[in-house]
């Protein structure tokens, strides 16, 4: 677990700890002190804790003019036991939305499991808020079993994910290119659903 590091190639473009509008502004990181853990395994110190004991994230890029954020997640997404969506919504998404962000891309290759709660209020609230601003929420590159768990929990009512949003090679692209690709995919999907 400690070898799984957040994507670092965009650090020349953006770092959340240097962004005064970021919920992680002012954080300092060590490459040597491992303090956060996922169950009994220490994780790489570059991951940001945001309240969950099993899910961590890293804001990789934010563009306030275009209104989007690119965020990588790692761990187990557990709404059943830990209400992770509450922490993600209140401690990451809400502060970004207050700064004009309405389009969220979450890179989910390192999300190991998804455990839904029968209560979907946070997802419904979040989806409604971003849609009012012309925005959306995308889960990119989910593992097959995570995709199935999300589908069973009816996350497709609030977010975009699934086969068409998997196998996206984003790490070699620039952040704006990734956003433009995903935005075009979402808009294309919206048009297809509206036809």
Q: Which domains, from first to last, does the chain contain?
A: 16-194 (3.30.750.24)
Handedness of CA 36, 40, 44, 48 (dihedral sign): negative
Task: Look up the pTM and report it.
Answer: 0.92
pLDDT in tens, the chain (195 residues): 456 788 899 999 999 999 999 999 998 877 767 677 777 777 788 888 999 989 999 999 999 999 999 999 999 999 999 899 999 999 999 999 999 999 999 999 999 999 999 889 999 999 999 999 999 999 999 999 999 999 999 999 999 999 999 999 999 999 999 999 999 999 986 555 444
Residue 147 φ/ψ region, left for φ over 0, alpha for ψ in the -120 to 50 degree band, beta for the rest = alpha
C-alpha to C-alpha distance for 152 and 180, rounded to whole angstroms: 29
- pLDDT for the residue numbered 190: 56
């Amino acid at each position: 677990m400690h070898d799984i590091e957040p994507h670092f190639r965009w650090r020349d473009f953006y770092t959340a700890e240097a962004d005064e509008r970021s919920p992680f502004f002012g954080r300092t990181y060590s490459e040597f002190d491992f303090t956060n853990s996922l169950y009994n395994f220490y994780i790489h110190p570059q991951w940001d804790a945001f309240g969950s004991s099993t899910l961590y994230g890293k804001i990789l890029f934010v563009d306030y003019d275009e209104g989007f954020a690119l965020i990588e997640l790692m761990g187990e997404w557990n709404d059943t036991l830990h209400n992770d969506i509450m922490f993600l919504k209140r401690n990451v998404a809400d502060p970004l939305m207050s700064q004009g962000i309405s389009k969220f891309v979450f890179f989910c290759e390192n999300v190991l499991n998804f455990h839904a709660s029968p209560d979907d209020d946070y997802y419904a609230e979040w989806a409604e808020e971003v849609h009012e601003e012309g925005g959306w929420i995308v889960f990119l590159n989910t593992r097959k079993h995570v995709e199935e768990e999300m589908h069973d929990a009816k996350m497709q009512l609030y977010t975009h994910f699934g086969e068409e949003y998997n196998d996206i090679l984003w790490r070699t692209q620039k952040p704006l290119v990734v956003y433009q690709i995903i935005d075009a995919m979402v808009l294309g999907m919206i048009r297809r659903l509206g036809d």
